[in-house]
Structure 1
Amino acid sequence: MGTDPAGLRGEAPLLDAWLRFQERSPTPFTIPGHKQRRDLVGDVVAGDVPLYAGLDTMKLATGVLGEAEARAARLWGADFCRFSTDGATHANQSVALAFGGDGGRVVVSRSLHRSMLLGLVLAGLEPVWVRPEVDRATGLPLGVRPDDVRRVVAENPDVRAVFVGDPSYVGTVGDMRGLAAAAHDYDVPLVVDAAWAAHFGFHPDLPEHALALGADVVVTSAHKTLPAWSQAALILARGGRVDLRRLDAAVDATATTSPAGAILASTDAARALLARDGVALLGPAILAARQARRQLRDVAGLVVLEGAHVDPLKLTVVLPGTGADGIAVERELIERGLPVESADRDVIIAVVSLADTETSIAAYTQALIAAIEHHRGPARDVVDAGIYQVEPEMVTTPRRAYFAAAQAVPLHDAVGEVSAELVAPYPPGIPVLAPGERITRRSLSTLEAAARAGVRIAYAADPSLRTLRVVRA
């Protein structure tokens, strides 16, 4: 039977429906095929309730999903909200499709996740790239400069939208109000992949969320920083510069027709919790993360990302000054039962959320400090990650290259050819190569450096990087 320990019943219609289903214990003659039996494959299916003939009738007669989405729209000050059970990946691709059609161009930050870039393939959109600033001291991205957006849009007056990712994967926060103003100066909508910012705007010590700062469309992941199931995400939008009916159709076109009710209910519950207790829950986590930063600042040679333009709940540290290898540090943290969001040789990223406590954050901080000291060595120079400095040379559109006849060639024979695939170090999933781009020695050296630093090379047909798929001449 489902439980409601936070006392959210009555405040979250999808959660209410999920609890009612558990209390009724029906014998369904519908999917899913486990029929609510946990004696077949075990507790792995516990709580799995469909939307159709589960949270609602097969005909969606009670409208609980629409009511939950309307409550979320009100909370974020949006005209439109849709829940996704396929994560920010589905949400980003839906948004791209909403701006597609007969081709067309959009301004795209090169720091965006691969899901949006593959959304360009689906939508047939051509990117006009804009790069984020990079902090020379750490090699990590800052935000995209509003003046760069203004310049690019002025030079390309036919663009349909500006797509940026903010905050960055490492937790840096850009000038969202300035970006919105830059786009709106040309009556172009600003679309923000704010996957890591579902908590923004719900405590005075956090940045405002992107819609409050002028964005037209925001994608955010409920599961990244809120207590929702994996794959829970929201698409929020304001009308005016965006065709909301077209966006709605794009969401439906790319969504599963069998949405997981537990994911939807957890999104609704997380929204209700944030509305009622956000300040009370986020405050202690922010204070504990602040204390962690104070302790980490005392570690010789360690650089800690902090300040007004950093998410207080993203603990990102830069290791070269300590000489420690981040992969070895990560291994030790895993052995202590404290896995982190991301680690490569030079950077370790830990995600703190309202689910953390002073005790859990203190335990992580002490373990991190001990692991760094255990693996301390001679200081080394900060090496630019390269992925944030890519200067892509577009030869053809992503869609044309993605569907073109292609062949695999040895890695270094690929220099000068046109990439038929998207290749990205993961995390963070920001492409070094995208379909339709010229393969350069610099792009290959960036991928090889990431692999040497212990980062997984993702999405390539050959993840060993012995070969690359190129457009056949």
Structure 2
Amino acid sequence: MPVVVRVRVNVSSCSCSCSRNKSMSRQNPTPTLTNKNKMNTSRITHGSMTCGGGVRSFSSSSSFCKQSPTLSRWCTCFPSSLSSSSSSCLSSSSSSALRAHSEEAWDTFDRDADADLKLGFGTPLLTALTERASSLHFHSGSSDDEKADMDEVPFYTPGHKRGNLNLHDDERQTHVNASLHPLLALDVPELEEVDNLFAPTGVIKQAQQLTARLYGAATTMFSVNGSTAGVAAAILATCDEKRALVLPRDAHQSALNGLVLSGAKPVYLPAHLVHGGDVSNGTNAEDVEQALATNQGDVGAVLVVSPTYHGMCADVKAFAQVCQRHGVPLLVDEAHGAHLGLCDLLPASALQCGADVAVQSTHKALGALSQCAVVHLAHDARVSEDTLRQALLMLTSTSPNYALLASIDSARAAVDGDHGKRVITRATELAIDTRRRIIDDVAWRCLPSDDPWKITVLLEDADSWCGDTLDDFLCDDHGVVCELARNKSVLFAWGIGSTQEHANRLVDALGLAREAMLSSSSASRQATATAAMPPLSSANFSMTPRAAFFARKERIPLEQAVGRVSAESLAPYPPGIPLVLPGETLTADMLDALKAFARQGGAISGASDPSMCTVRVLL
């Protein structure tokens, strides 16, 4: 017999009267919600706070259930009426409009949702999934006393039948049960109790509505293909072969995917790289204004990245104003910013500053599983909700993993309400204090950033060490693993799971690294920095990425490729920013830089020939 994981729930012991499923009792208390808007003008620098941008954060007052221990992990009551005060990020009229939209949205939720869902159950999808995964079927007798429970017999996909692999080997079966069974038990198809992502009417619908309410969105859609699918879907929903996309030259690979799928012509904004090309400093509104004026009437959308990988936040409010003047939707790749706007110490989120669509990864900083993301659509957005939804579903498996979906629900619940705001605030305070200790106590320089959850240590004054050298020292000798090591910088990514112990070990290890770097004993760790990134071009394109993708190609020696059109995206790592994009004419400077990176052992992401002896070009 396979191991069966059971979760028995005693609903009657939950004094909040949270309803469960159709076979259980229903009581519907009316919850309340307050929406508090705060302001902060903070930009994190070398341990100090200097002027930055306005912050508008949503929070909700929440009453937690007095319930049985079984339910304490999942069940919280979230309120349902909204009020709002003025904000520095939005005008008073915009703030009033957003408040009215939010109240209308929640009223609609109250009218349309099933009675069981009105409660604002803490994790509706996660709870339904864990119950369904451990459910028993009841054999009916003539009376309640004669009813008996039995294990479910699953004649539905997937083939492991909720973890029953029938390996016919006790040792292997024990290993699988111990390591995979809890996950496999949650791997179910679109059963009635857990809803359908492609036509949500139950717990998925409510989980998405609760997420939309937290972030102030009109609609939120879950993605199990990450922000990569969300960004591509936003481009598909707004651009085509007749409508261009304005985007940064150093945008994520997902934007290139969207260009190939949509056929849109890219209008690249200049890339502002700092610290030897290690770090992208984002985009400015002046570049967007010029691009829209030059391509008047031909632009389907503007895409910006905020925050960047290293925590630089764009002036999204300024971008939104420019886009509004030109009647063009603003899409924000906010993959690294699902925590923004959730407490007063953090910058405002893209939606709070006027973006039409914001795409956030819920796993990068929050508590969802990898591959999870959300796509937010703003109130009065210049993007069709139906088109955006269809585009996202086109890029989504028709067999989405429910453990992934439920983890998005759980990640949202962890940062929702007053309790969630305190969680985010404590994590932010710890990140700020850790940055201060790195600078003041162990004498490292840190990159100024808007998002305190990204701490980048700079090695510009470390002649003998590069980023990889520091990374090796921290990882191999002290078990401290960074997010990204580049030429003269190392990035440490904070998250909701970061602890004081993590902070202490990081600071201690950096202190020892400083001593080792300054000592003669560090000679064995000396490393040669990789080649610097040359300036990125935004003008040497002879065709769209889609045309380049489908064009006939050939492979030629690299030294013969000057003047030819690249068929590949070539991104030296570090720093990981595409030096060459499909459809771009190759120059001597590009080829020299690529050869230098390859000679020094650097990886070229996207290259069909990792040695860079040859390159694929268009015929």
Structure 1's unaligned 5+ residue stretches are none
**Could you tell me which residue of structure 2 aligns to residue 74 of structure 1?**
213
**Could you tell me which residue of structure 2 aligns to residue 290 of structure 1?**
432
Q: Aligned partners of 1:54 and 1:227: how far apart in 2? A: 26
The letter for the 2-side match of 1:334 is C
Tell me if the contact between 1:104 and 1:160 (Cα under 8 Å) persists in the aligned partners: yes
Aligned-CA RMSD value: 2.8
Q: Aligned partners of 1:451 and 1:211: how far apart in 2? A: 41
Of 245, 263, 277, the match for 2:386: 245
Q: Which moved more, 1:134-143 or 1:190-199?
A: 134-143
Of 421, 424, 434, the match for 2:571: 424
Q: Aligned partners of 2:550 and 2:441: how far apart in 1? A: 50
2:495 pairs with 1:349: no
Tell me if the contact between 1:301 and 1:322 (Cα under 8 Å) persists in the aligned partners: no
Tell me if the contact between 1:8 and 1:273 (Cα under 8 Å) persists in the aligned partners: no
2:409 pairs with 1:268: yes
2:123 pairs with 1:15: no
Q: Structure 1, residues 154-210: CA drift from partner, whole Å, max 9, x if none? A: 111111110111111111112111111122111111101010000000010100100
Give the deviation of 1:455 after TM superposition: 4.9
Give the deviation of 1:449 after TM superposition: 5.1
Q: Aligned partners of 2:578 and 2:221: how far apart in 1? A: 27
**Could you tell me which residue of structure 2 aligns to residue 116 of structure 1?**
255
Of 329, 337, 353, the match for 1:189: 329
Give the deviation of 1:316 after TM superposition: 0.7
Q: Aligned partners of 2:351 and 2:460: how far apart in 1? A: 37
Tell me if the contact between 2:74 and 2:123 (Cα under 8 Å) persists in the aligned partners: no
Larger gyration radius, structure 1 or structure 2: 2
SS of the residue corresponding to residue 326 of structure 2 reads: coil
Q: Which moved more, 1:277-286 or 1:91-100?
A: 277-286
- For residues 30-109 of structure 1, the aligned pairs below 5 Å read 30-37=156-163, 39=173, 41-42=176-177, 43-44=179-180, 46-48=182-184, 49-53=187-191, 56=194, 63-109=202-248
Tell me if the contact between 1:114 and 1:429 (Cα under 8 Å) persists in the aligned partners: no
Structure-2 change in CA distance of 1:30 and 1:130 (3 Å): same
2:445 pairs with 1:303: yes
SS of the residue corresponding to residue 438 of structure 1 reads: coil
**Could you tell me which residue of structure 1 aligns to residue 512 of structure 2?**
370
Structure-2 change in CA distance of 1:357 and 1:454 (3 Å): farther
Q: Aligned partners of 2:286 and 2:574: how far apart in 1? A: 28
SS of the residue corresponding to residue 107 of structure 1 reads: strand
Q: Which moved more, 1:257-266 or 1:100-109?
A: 100-109
Q: Percent identity?
A: 34
**Could you tell me which residue of structure 2 aligns to residue 127 of structure 1?**
266
Structure-2 change in CA distance of 1:78 and 1:47 (3 Å): same
Of 277, 289, 304, the match for 1:150: 289
**Could you tell me which residue of structure 2 aligns to residue 337 of structure 1?**
479
The letter for the 1-side match of 2:182 is A
Tell me if the contact between 1:407 and 1:471 (Cα under 8 Å) persists in the aligned partners: yes
The letter for the 2-side match of 1:114 is Q
The letter for the 2-side match of 1:206 is L
SS of the residue corresponding to residue 604 of structure 2 reads: strand
Q: Aligned partners of 1:198 and 1:32: how far apart in 2? A: 32
Structure-2 change in CA distance of 1:23 and 1:41 (3 Å): closer
The letter for the 1-side match of 2:134 is E
**Could you tell me which residue of structure 2 aligns to residue 29 of structure 1?**
155
**Could you tell me which residue of structure 1 aligns to residue 395 of structure 2?**
254
Q: Aligned partners of 1:130 and 1:80: how far apart in 2? A: 29
Structure-2 change in CA distance of 1:138 and 1:458 (3 Å): closer
Tell me if the contact between 1:120 and 1:398 (Cα under 8 Å) persists in the aligned partners: yes
Q: Aligned partners of 1:241 and 1:60: how far apart in 2? A: 23
Give the deviation of 1:18 after TM superposition: 1.8
Q: Which moved more, 1:423-432 or 1:94-103?
A: 423-432
- For residues 448-467 of structure 1, the aligned pairs below 5 Å read 448=595, 450=597, 455-467=602-614
Q: If the length of structure 2 is used for normalisation, what is the TM-score?
A: 0.70
Of 438, 446, 468, the match for 1:327: 468
**Could you tell me which residue of structure 1 aligns to residue 560 of structure 2?**
413
The letter for the 1-side match of 2:269 is V
2:443 pairs with 1:443: no
The letter for the 1-side match of 2:401 is A
Tell me if the contact between 1:409 and 1:469 (Cα under 8 Å) persists in the aligned partners: yes
Q: Aligned partners of 2:467 and 2:200: how far apart in 1? A: 53
Give the deviation of 1:66 after TM superposition: 1.5
Give the deviation of 1:428 after TM superposition: 6.5
Structure-2 change in CA distance of 1:61 and 1:346 (3 Å): closer
Tell me if the contact between 2:276 and 2:532 (Cα under 8 Å) persists in the aligned partners: no
Structure 2's unaligned 5+ residue stretches are 8-69, 77-120, 137-151, 165-172
Tell me if the contact between 2:249 and 2:270 (Cα under 8 Å) persists in the aligned partners: yes
Tell me if the contact between 2:336 and 2:365 (Cα under 8 Å) persists in the aligned partners: yes
Structure-2 change in CA distance of 1:45 and 1:375 (3 Å): farther
Q: Aligned partners of 1:326 and 1:46: how far apart in 2? A: 39
Q: Aligned partners of 2:303 and 2:253: how far apart in 1? A: 13
Tell me if the contact between 1:417 and 1:439 (Cα under 8 Å) persists in the aligned partners: yes
The letter for the 1-side match of 2:399 is S
Structure-2 change in CA distance of 1:350 and 1:390 (3 Å): farther
Tell me if the contact between 1:301 and 1:321 (Cα under 8 Å) persists in the aligned partners: no
Q: Which moved more, 1:157-166 or 1:131-140?
A: 131-140
Of 544, 547, 550, the match for 1:400: 547
Q: Aligned partners of 2:411 and 2:278: how far apart in 1? A: 34
The letter for the 2-side match of 1:456 is A
Give the deviation of 1:228 after TM superposition: 0.4
SS of the residue corresponding to residue 223 of structure 1 reads: coil
Q: Aligned partners of 1:240 and 1:119: how far apart in 2? A: 20
Q: Aligned partners of 1:62 and 1:28: how far apart in 2? A: 23
Tell me if the contact between 1:100 and 1:125 (Cα under 8 Å) persists in the aligned partners: yes
The letter for the 1-side match of 2:344 is P
Q: Which moved more, 1:61-70 or 1:352-361?
A: 61-70
Tell me if the contact between 2:442 and 2:514 (Cα under 8 Å) persists in the aligned partners: no
Tell me if the contact between 2:369 and 2:408 (Cα under 8 Å) persists in the aligned partners: yes
Structure-2 change in CA distance of 1:95 and 1:385 (3 Å): farther
Give the deviation of 1:429 after TM superposition: 4.8
Structure-2 change in CA distance of 1:155 and 1:97 (3 Å): same
Q: Aligned partners of 2:286 and 2:300: how far apart in 1? A: 18
Structure-2 change in CA distance of 1:138 and 1:23 (3 Å): same
Q: If the length of structure 1 is used for normalisation, what is the TM-score?
A: 0.91
